[in-house]
């Protein structure tokens, strides 16, 4: 009887330890690496994870955010690949722009298989914008006018040739049956400069993101003709039709995600995956995501890994078609 009781107690103790095991995998010094200066999209992405993980009690130690600018994330990516490939404490910020640059070979030798993709926790979406007094009220009207006079349509974006904004513009050119290489693209420094160029009549079309354009659309300073999302976006953009609704199969989600080093252990990777999954279901996370102007877009673990690799292949095709 005593031996039986001892066995039961030992079994209960082991079961209790097993139940607690996931907590032992929590990183002692959680860190998020943002591959740019403070204040940009990578910083926003790191702060989203840092705040939501702590507020939802997935981590007990505040997450440190560090910065490593260069190559729009390329320097940070190569740093993780070369020096911190097995660091289970570290997650790094990424975006669909990262996948685009990898597809174009701008991250150097490391490709999309050089890291382990952890998850995406939100997204913005591409938009096509015109001035408030533009005669074009729909995307169909704009595409038709562009087709009739492609040389008369300067398209402005907050990035260089080959950037996400350039790619969005190239999709409009393709919809108008024009060669994207002939598009009159004006590369500007960010969405604010695009808005200024539109309002000043210097360009006819703006390529940007919903979060940076919505307030100006609501204020009547510009008009968003289409959002590049599978379905209409909620809130202040609920009245703006998607490109799909207007007959154009164009989507451009700007996801915000994370990766870890290639040699991070399965136990550490699984801890991050399970913590992201649990966190993403909490009201604390929804509040943090909404505060950053992001829309729901949650892909974690293998689903996100597949999405990144799919995006890289899609971007390779788009870049080739555009002559990049």
Residues 247 and 150: their CA atoms lie apart, in Å, by 20
| 45-74: average pLDDT | 95
% pLDDT > 70, the chain: 92
* pLDDT level of residue 47 (50, 70, 90 thresholds): very high
278-313 pLDDT tens trace = 999 999 999 999 999 899 999 999 999 999 999 999
Looking at residue 161, what is its pLDDT? 87
Q: What is the mean predicted confidence (pLDDT) over 217-230?
A: 95
Same-domain pairing of 198 and 145: yes
Counted domains in the chain: 2
Neighbours of 222 (CB within 10 A): 24
**What whole-number distance in Å separates Cα of residue 116 and Cα of residue 110?**
12
pLDDT score of 323 more than 80:
no
Taking each helix axis from N to C end, the angle separating 41-55 and 266-279, rounded to the nearest 10 degrees, works out to 80
* Co-location of 113 and 35 in the same domain: yes
Residue 235 Ramachandran class (φ > 0 left, ψ -120 to 50 alpha, else beta): left
Confidence at residue 7, expressed as pLDDT on a 0 to 100 scale: 46
Last residue of a domain, one of 203, 237, 271: 237
Residue 148 sits in the same domain as residue 193 = yes
Residue 176: exposed, middle, or buried by beta-carbon count in 10 A (0-12, 13-18, 19+)? middle
Residues 150 and 117 both lie in one domain: no
Indicate if the pLDDT at residue 322 is higher than 80.
no
Asked if residue 24 belongs to a domain, the reply is no
Q: How far is residue 198's CA from residue 239's CA, in Å, rounded to a whole number?
A: 21
Q: In this model, does residue 223 exceed pLDDT 80?
A: yes
Tell me, yes or no, whether 83 lies in a domain. yes
pLDDT greater at residue 191 or residue 239: 239
Residue 177 structural domain = 125-237
Q: Are residue 96 and residue 173 in the same domain, yes or no?
A: no
70 and 42 share one domain: yes
Q: How large is the average pLDDT for residues 7-30?
A: 54
CB count within 10 Å of CB 190 equals 14
Q: Which CATH number fits the domain that encloses residue 183?
A: 3.40.190.10
Confidence band (pLDDT; 50, 70, 90) for 324? low
Residue 276 within a domain? yes
pTM: predicted TM-score of the whole model, two decimal places: 0.83
User: Residue 155 forms beta bridges with which residues?
Assistant: 185, 205
Between 318 and 18, whose confidence is greater?
Answer: 318
Reported as a pLDDT band with limits 50, 70 and 90, residue 1 is: very low
For residues 82 and 144, state if they share a domain: no
Q: Which long-range contacts (CB under 8 A, 24 or more apart) does 141-146 make?
A: 142/172, 142/205, 142/225, 143/172, 143/175, 143/176, 143/248, 144/176, 146/172, 146/173, 146/176, 146/178, 146/205
Q: Does residue 82 carry a pLDDT above 70?
A: yes
Residue 21 maps to a domain: no
Compute the average pLDDT of residues 141-169.
92
Mean pLDDT of the chain: 90
Asked if pLDDT for residue 183 goes beyond 60, the answer is: yes
Would residue 16 count as lying in a domain? no
Q: What's the maximum distance between 2 C-alpha atoms anywhere in the chain?
A: 93
The answer to whether residues 276 and 261 belong to one domain is yes
Task: Looking at the structure, tell me whether residues 147 and 218 fall in a common domain.
Answer: yes
Residue 10 domain-assigned (yes or no): no
């Amino acid at each position: 009887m005593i031996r039986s009781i001892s066995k039961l107690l030992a079994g209960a103790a082991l079961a209790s330890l097993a139940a607690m095991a996931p907590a032992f995998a929590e990183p002692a010094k959680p860190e998020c690496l943002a591959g740019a200066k403070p204040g940009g999209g990578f910083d926003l992405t790191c702060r989203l994870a840092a705040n939501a993980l702590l507020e939802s009690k997935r981590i007990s130690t505040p997450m440190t955010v560090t910065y490593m600018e260069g190559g729009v994330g390329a320097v940070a990516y190569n740093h993780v690949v070369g020096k911190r490939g097995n660091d289970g404490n570290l997650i790094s910020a990424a975006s669909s722009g990262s996948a685009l640059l990898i597809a174009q070979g701008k991250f150097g030798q490391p490709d999309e298989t050089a890291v382990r993709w952890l998850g995406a926790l939100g997204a913005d979406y591409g938009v096509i914008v015109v001035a408030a007094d533009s005669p074009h009220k729909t995307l169909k009207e704009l595409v038709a006018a562009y087709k009739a006079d492609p040389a008369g349509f300067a398209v402005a974006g907050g990035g260089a040739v080959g950037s996400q904004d350039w790619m969005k513009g190239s999709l409009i050119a393709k919809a108008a049956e024009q060669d994207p290489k002939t598009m009159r693209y004006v590369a500007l420094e960010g969405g604010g400069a695009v808005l200024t160029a539109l309002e000043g009549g210097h360009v006819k079309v703006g390529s940007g993101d919903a979060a940076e354009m919505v307030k100006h659309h609501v204020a009547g300073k510009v008009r968003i003709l289409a959002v590049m999302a599978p379905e209409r976006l909620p809130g202040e953009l609920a009245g703006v039709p998607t490109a799909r609704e207007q007959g154009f199969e164009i989507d451009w989600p700007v996801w915000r995600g994370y990766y870890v080093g290639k040699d991070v252990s399965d136990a550490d990777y699984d801890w991050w995956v399970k913590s992201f999954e649990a966190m993403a279901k909490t009201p604390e996370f929804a509040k943090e995501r909404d505060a950053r102007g992001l829309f729901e877009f949650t892909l974690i673990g293998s689903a996100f890994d597949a999405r990144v690799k799919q995006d890289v292949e899609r971007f390779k095709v788009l870049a080739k078609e555009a002559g990049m």
